[in-house]
Structure formats: structure tokens, C-alpha cells
Amino acid sequence: MLTSRSFHSPARRSAARILATRYPTPYRHVPHNFVLLRHYSIALVGLGYRGYRSHFLSLSEDPSVSITAVCDTNRVALEAFSATHKGIPAYLSLPQLLQSHIPDFAIVSVPHSAHTQCITTLAAKGIAVLKEKPVAESIAEYEWMTGLPVRIGIAFQKRFEPHFLHFRSLLPLVGEVAAVEASLTLGITNLEETWRAASGVGVTEDLGCHMLDMLVWLFGPPTSVMAHQVSSVRRGQRYGGDDVSDILMDWGAKKCIGHVRLSRVAHRPIQSIVVTGTNGTLHLDGYQITHHDINGLETLKVNHQPRQKQVIQTMAQEFGDWISGRRPEFSSSLGNTLHTVSVVDAINASLASRQVRHPLLLSSSAESLGAVTNCRPLSKISGSSRALAANFSTSSSSASFAYPSYREKVFRLNTGASIPAIGLGTRRAETPGQVYKAVRSALDVGYRHIDAAQSSENEHEIGRAIKDSGVPRKQIWITTKLDNRWHTRVGSALQLSLDALDMDYIDLYLMHWPVSACPNDQTTQLKNWNFVNTWEAMQQLPSHIVRNIGVSNFGIAHLRRLLNHPSCKVVPAVNQIELHPYWPSRLLLTYCNNHDIHCTAYSCLGSTDSPLLQDPAVLEISRLKDRSPQQIL
């Protein structure tokens, strides 16, 4: 329901004319008095909060769509669903579902780490995808998605909510926009009891994605961003991610600036956008829209009512109409979210580097690479989408369809550098030449991150394997480590590693252990030297030779001592630690995350002689998913 005040002054009559103009409807390409809905069959992938509470419960009440099947890997959730909704087929895996059903499209509401596999599986069957946010974790991932032979939409629900649509249509009231102030906050008392505790997802990634998309949708991408964040506000609780973030924006030539406040520890929920312009101010506060002229007089006040179920239904109907050719575009199609991806990527880079970043540079790069092809005319992809999919392979050998796998995924360090997510460890070779063969094989199959150590005494094999592989050095990330016996001779140790590797620079140089040992006896610690002194020396290494420095096997006490020491001018970019289900180190992970230190895991499959691969729980999950224990881990 929509209510508004009457108008009397000329300014108010002008506002009234805008208010009286019908703001964009879900079907603005057809007459307002005639909308013929088409019935669509939908598969739901994921029965979490968004999948079940938002999508299923909303769409199950819409006669214009039918939920043909659902799937979720959580057996308990699936059994609970089946007990309540007996008439809807439920499956433990997406391939099982697709053996019996070919829906018009699928709504994917799974953790982002699982969405690529789901999208790949659906695309291979020619099934369009409406997926939950985030759009993508990187520009590279976004570009991969645009190359799929099906249409993809993002469930940015706010683009379909009437109060946001109305607010957008009223923006001309303010004249030329000069400043934008936006807030999106929640007050979550116990963060460690939510899904965010284990996931490490913070407020910028969670709430921020929605508000940032709104600002891009309303005003276009800013030319620069600068972001700051605060973590661990809920003292005594164990969880990850930032709690509060502030983002400054500049729209450059538009002579407009902006500020976004995101918080999950606020005293109350807030959803607000204030736009100041040459003709006054327009304010969206929750579901209420007000306009004040330059004299501060209220010229308009409109109240909308929440309509979440109807919004979900409209979004699904519009997506179905878009993929079937009944409407020319979809508001949150993959192509229409390019700038959102670039802005979020730039903000993450700013948080990591503590520097100003420029989203438009990323957008321009992506566009030049054809990143908006998912918006190409439907006639070129829709009618034959299933036939096209038949010619695509989900194997890594298909360059046109293969997702940039986890070997190509990267994490951004606090230096701004991007470290490949998956690397090859080279510790404890049993025979000479074994490391050489392992590195050659890893590079041949696509690995671009090799982890070495001075103490392993095999850096020469690694260097020779890289040179013989033919892969350019600049495409490979090399990590090596300072041995305990060389803490007082950092420069000399580095040169030994460079000579052994036959390289001019190291991408990441780590202090292997927080232990300064005697050069002639590694079992004896030095009395007048410790890891703080070593770090002070590492900070002096030339940046063109050692591009990033970090630590390894540091606990919270070590890091706290190091970071609090006056000589510490550089926060370690990485802390490489043992991480696996038997050794999760949650407190250490949270501490590092809160101090912008990336944790790299070693012994991911369990340490030497670990029984992890024979753990009954691992074996049971392996059996249920038809995967090896190593794949499960």
C-alpha cells in the first residue's frame, strides 16, 4: 500500500507531478492494465534461510510458478523439508535432480564456495540460473560466468522492491546530485551463534553487497573508493569478519561524493539513503520517502508497505520472462551487475591496501574483454541454449566453458598482492629428484603457486623445474622461508635461496618459525636475539627482491608480541599455519583475520601419519558424495 500527502506550493505541485507519473512497474514493456503471466517451472538448489524462507515460501504461494524439485546436501534439512512438503521431489545432489527434471530455470542459494559447481552443472544442461549474491568473488570469476551458454541473473531483491523503484523515479526532484549518504545496519547481539561465526563473512561482504549494488544502480559506479573497517566489537565472542565499515566514494566528473556506513552491531536496524542536490534533499528511511526543498520545507512524503513475498514473485516472473524472450532485459542480469562487481572488488582492495582504489578501471578492463556478453540478444542464445550446452564440456580441457578452478583462484593480501589460493608444498621428499618431478607435474596441470623452504634443501630442484617447464616466471608465485639458524643473517639467507632457485625475486618470504636458533646447533635458541629482531631485519629487505613478507607457525601470543613492538612497521602479509579438521585453530584464524593477516594452510589433508584420511566421519561423507577423502578435505 502507498500513501502520500497533498501538495499546495509550486514546489510541491512539481513534486506531485513526478509522484503522479507512474514509476517503473515490473512490466513496463507492456500496458499497465494488461499483464499476461506465463507459468514457469523452477528448481530450488539450497534450502538454507534464503532458499527456503525467502524463495520457497514466497514462490509456493504464486500460482504462476511451480517448484518442480529441490535439492540440498544437508540430509537433515532435506528430510525436514520432505516431511512438510510431501508432494515436492527432494534430492541430495543436483545431478540426481537433473536426471528426472528439466526446469525452466533454477534458483541457486548455496554458499559461494559451492555455487560454481552448481552453475556449471546447470549450464551443461542448458538451464538458466537465478543465483544469490555475491555476484562473483573477482572480475575473473565474473568473466567466466559471462561465457556460460545460459542466462544468469543475480537475486538483488532490492532492485525489485517498490520503495526503491519509487525512490529512483523521484531522484529528478533533487536536481544535480551533490552528495549521497547511505546506511545499512543491523543489531546482532550474539554473532558467534550465527552462520557468520565459522564462515568469516563480515558486514561489508554480507550487508554491504546489497547497499553497494543499490548505489551503483541509482548513481552509476564511483570513480574512486576508500574503505575502512573495524572487527571484533563483540568481545569474548568467537567469529570472523568485520563488524563496521565506512566507505568513501567520489563520482569524479559528476562532482558528487558519497559515504556508506555498514554495521551489524548497531543499536537498531537502519536502511537509509539521503541524496542532497541543487534542488533539495530526497530521503529514503526504511519504507518512507520524503523530499525537502532548498528551504527545508517538506514537499513530499510517501509510505510504502513491506511486500517481500510479492517482490520475490515479481523477480522470479521477470527472470522467467527474460530468459523466454518475453521481456528485453532483466534488472539484475549478470551483465547489469558488472559495475557492482568492480566496485566491490575495488572496496576489498582498498580494505586490504588502505589506499584509494578506482572501480572504473576494473570495469573498463572487464568490458574490453567482453564481460557483458551475458546480456547479448536472446535470439542468439536462448532458442538453442540446450543444444549449445551439449557442445560444452565441464572438464578442464574445454577452454570455452571451464571455470577458473581453485588453482586459479586468488586471495588479496594486505599489500594489495594476489596470492594463488592453491599451491604445491615441497616438504620432505623421499628421494632426490622427486620434488623436481612434482613441480613439473604441478605446473603442467595448472598450478601457479609453489611453496618452498630453505630448510628443505630442495630449492635448486624447484628452480630447475620451473625453468624447464617453460612457464614464464612472472606467472608463478614463489614462496620460500627463512631457516631458524639464519635469523641473524637474513640478507645472506635470502641470497642463498635466490641462488638456489636461480631467480631475481621472491613473491613471499616467510620466517619459518618464531624460533631464533644457534647457527651451529638448531636445538639451541639464541639468548640475545628473538623473532622480533628477525622481523626488523626482514622489513629492511628490498621490496623489488622480496615483494611480500610474512611469518609461519606463529600463534596469537607471537603475533601480539610482534605487532605491539615499536619496531614493527609492516604487518605480516601471511601467517602460514597447520590447518585441517583435526587442527582448526579457530581463535588464531579470527585473530589473523581481525588484523588483516592472511592465513595459508599447510598439511590440509592432515599432518604426517595423521589418521584424518581414515576418520569415520570423513569416510562417510566421502561415500555419500561419491568423492575421495582427499577431495572431501
Residue-by-residue DSSP string for 83-138:
HH-TTS-EESSHHHHHHH---SEEEE-S-HHHHHHHHHHHHHTT-EEEEPSPS-SS
CA 264 – CA 244 distance, rounded (Å) = 7
Cβ–Cβ under 8 Å, residues 443 and 472:
no
Say if CB 61 and CB 309 are below 8 A apart: yes
Q: Assign 144 a pLDDT band (cuts: 50, 70, 90).
A: confident
CA–CA separation, 1 and 304 (whole Å): 6
Q: How confident is the model at residue 64, as a pLDDT? A: 87
Give me the DSSP letters along 599-633.
EEEESTT-STT-GGGG-HHHHHHHHHHT--HHHH-
Q: What is the pLDDT of residue 606?
A: 67
Residues 350-375 have a mean pLDDT of 56
Convert the pLDDT of each residue in 309-356 to its tens digit. 999 999 999 999 999 999 999 999 999 999 999 899 889 888 877 889
**Amino acid identity, residue 232?**
S
Name the band, by pLDDT with cuts 50, 70 and 90, for residue 195: low
Buried residues in 412-449 as b, exposed as e (16+ CB within 10 A): bbbbebbbbebbbbbeebeeeeebbebbbebbeeebbb
Whether 386 shows a pLDDT value over 90: the answer reads no
pLDDT of 36 higher than 50: yes
* Beta-carbon contacts of residue 240 (< 8 Å; ≥ 6 apart): 196, 197, 198, 199, 200, 201, 202, 589, 590, 593, 594
Residues in CB range of 91: below 8 A, 6 or more apart: 69, 70, 71, 78, 97
pLDDT digits (tens, 9 = 90+) for 106-125: 999 998 778 888 999 999 99
Please tell me what DSSP assigns to residue 380: G
Pairing type for strands 549-552 and 508-511 reads: parallel
pLDDT at 70 exceeding the cut of 60: yes
State yes or no: pLDDT of 63 exceeds 80: yes
The cell for 626 is: 561419491
Distance CA 511, CA 509 (A): 7
Least confident of 94-103, 152-161, 420-429: 420-429
Cell of 17: 507531478
**With 50 as the cut, is the pLDDT of residue 387 above it?**
no
| CA–CA dist 619, 611 (Å, integer) | 11
| Boundaries of every domain in the chain | 40-157+312-331+356-390, 162-305, 410-602, 608-633
What does the pLDDT look like over 448-492, one tens digit per residue?
999 999 999 899 999 999 999 988 998 899 999 999 999 999 999
pLDDT bin (cut points 50, 70, 90) of residue 190 is: confident
Instruction: Compare 85 and 191 and report the one with higher pLDDT.
Output: 85
Q: Which residue has the higher pLDDT, 631 or 128?
A: 128
Beta bridge partners of 108: 45, 131
Cis omega before residue 134 (within 30°)?
yes
| Residue at grid coordinates 619459518 | 512
pLDDT score for 398: 32
Q: What is the DSSP string of 222-275?
A: -SEEEEEEEE--STT----SEEEEEEEEE-GGG--EEEEEEESEEEEEEEEEEE
CA distance 390 to 125: 7
Q: How much is the mean pLDDT over the chain?
A: 84
For CA atoms 93, 95, 97, 99, give the dihedral sign. negative
- Enter the C-alpha cell of residue 117: 559447481
Q: Which of 446, 226, 241 is nearest to 357 (CA)?
A: 226
Q: Is residue 97 predicted with pLDDT exceeding 60?
A: yes
* 383: confidence class by pLDDT, cuts 50, 70, 90: very low
CA distance 615 to 611: 6
282 within 8 A of 298, measured Cβ to Cβ: no
Helices and strands, number each (H, E), in the chain: 21, 26
CATH assignment, 40-157+312-331+356-390: 3.40.50.720
Cα separation, 206 vs 262, whole angstroms: 10
- Of all residues in the chain, the percent with pLDDT exceeding 70 is 84
Q: Are strands 152-154 and 128-131 parallel, antiparallel or unpaired?
A: parallel
397, with CB counted inside 10 A (0-12, 13-18, 19+), is exposed
Above 50 in pLDDT, residue 372?
no
182 within 8 A of 211, measured Cβ to Cβ: yes
Percent of the chain scoring above 90 in pLDDT: 57
- Name which of 53-67, 68-82, 310-324, 395-409 the model is least confident about: 395-409
- For 162-305, give the CATH class: alpha beta
Which pLDDT belongs to residue 198? 54
CB burial readout 49-82, b (16+ within 10 A) else e: ebbbebbbebbeebeebebbbbbbbeeebbeebe
The set of cell numbers assigned to 463 is 628452480
The b-or-e profile of 102-111 (16+ CB within 10 A means b, else e) is ebbbbbbbbe
The pLDDT value given to residue 218: 96
Beta partners for 301? 290
Q: How confident is the model at residue 206 (pLDDT cuts 50, 70, 90)?
A: confident
**Pick from 171-180, 189-198, 511-520, 599-608: least confident:** 189-198
Nearest to 168, CA basis, from 218, 216, 132: 218
- Residue 525 CB burial class (10 angstroms; 0-12, 13-18, ≥19): middle
Q: If pLDDT is split at 50, 70 and 90, which confidence band does 395 have?
A: very low
Q: What is the dihedral of CA 128, 405, 138, 55, to 10 degrees?
A: 40
Higher pLDDT, residue 193 or 105: 105
Q: How far apart are CA 197 and CA 232, in angstroms?
A: 11
Domain spanning 410-602: CATH 3.40.50.300: no
* Angle value at C-alpha 175, between 171 and 179, nearest 5 degrees: 80
Comparing C-alpha atoms, which of 354, 374, 70 is closest to residue 225?
354
With contact defined as beta carbons under 8 Å apart, do 283 and 289 qualify? yes
CA distance 623 to 109: 24
Banded model confidence at residue 196, pLDDT cuts 50, 70, 90 = low
Reply yes or no on whether the pLDDT at 368 is more than 70: no
CA distance 613 to 605: 7
- The tens digit of pLDDT for each residue in 518-557 reads 998 888 989 899 999 999 999 999 999 999 999 999 999 9
Q: Where are the beta strands (DSSP E) in 109-223?
A: 128-131, 152-154, 177-187
Question: Is pLDDT at 181 greater than 80 in this prediction?
Answer: yes
Contact 197, 238 (CB under 8 A): yes
Mean pLDDT of 400-429: 75
Mean pLDDT along residues 153-178: 95
Burial group, residue 150, by CB count within 10 angstroms (0-12, 13-18, 19+)? buried
Residue 367, pLDDT above cutoff 90 = no
What SS3 class is residue 276?
Answer: strand
Mean pLDDT lowest for which of 4-8, 61-65, 68-72?
A: 4-8
Give dist(CA 620, CA 626) in Å, integer: 10
Banded model confidence at residue 6, pLDDT cuts 50, 70, 90: very low
Q: Which of 560, 509, 558, 502 is nearest to 538 (CA)?
A: 509
Bridge partners, 484 (sequence order) = none
